[in-house]
Amino acid sequence: MITEEDCIWAIQLWGGLAEGGRWIVPDLGVYERTGENQIVLVELYAALPTHKVTKESRTLFDDHEYLVELGKHIGWEVGLAIEKAWNQEGEVLNIPEDRYGEAAVCSKQCGTIVRIEPPEPGKIMIQITDRKCPTCGKQGFTKAWDNLHVVMDDRGARIKQILSEEE
């Protein structure tokens, strides 16, 4: 629910930012004013290091979505241009921009696929350490994937698990 109070608050706050000026939202990130009626999220805090999607972990996403909705009410565009993302420990996520779109399959054939994607609010990023697969725990990835934060697709692994339980 977007109230009139919220709209007034946003008009005053965003309108008061100089172009290039930054607005820090605790627990969400940093927005920068990039135009007459435009702000974009340039830094994202706590991009959900666990892959559990709980009600609580959805609040980040809801917050950005809420600001997008609020913007629509008052004629502002609220966009994404994330340059830097942080996890809950305050570490910068390691996501090389020039490798966006690259994917790899766990070589131990558990069915897990990982992908390098730009960070977004609500997107769950998992770090690969010691070449270990986040699903099966075996060394399923090459050195080139070590320490990267990736998006994990474990649907294949879950299907395999269900099938093996049925056997």
Rule CB under 5 A: which residues touch Zn ion? 106, 108, 110, 112, 133, 135-136, 140
In the bound state with Zn ion, the residue whose beta carbon lies nearer, of 37 and 161, is 161
Of the two residues 3 and 107, which places its CB atom closer to Zn ion in the complex?
Answer: 107
CB 30, CB 17: distance < 8 Å: no
Instruction: Show the DSSP H helices in the chain as ranges.
Output: 4-16, 59-74, 155-166
For the CB of residue 52, give the shortest distance to Zn ion in the complex, in Å. 18
Least distance CB 127 / Zn ion (angstroms): 15
Q: How far apart are CA 9 and CA 15, in angstroms?
A: 10
DSSP state of 132: B
Q: Which residues, 6 or more positions from 4, have their beta carbon under 8 angstroms from its beta carbon?
A: none
Q: Shortest distance, CB of residue 3 to Zn ion, whole angstroms?
A: 48
Q: Are 104 and 145 a contacting pair, CB within 8 Å? A: yes
Residue 118: CB minimum distance to Zn ion, A: 24
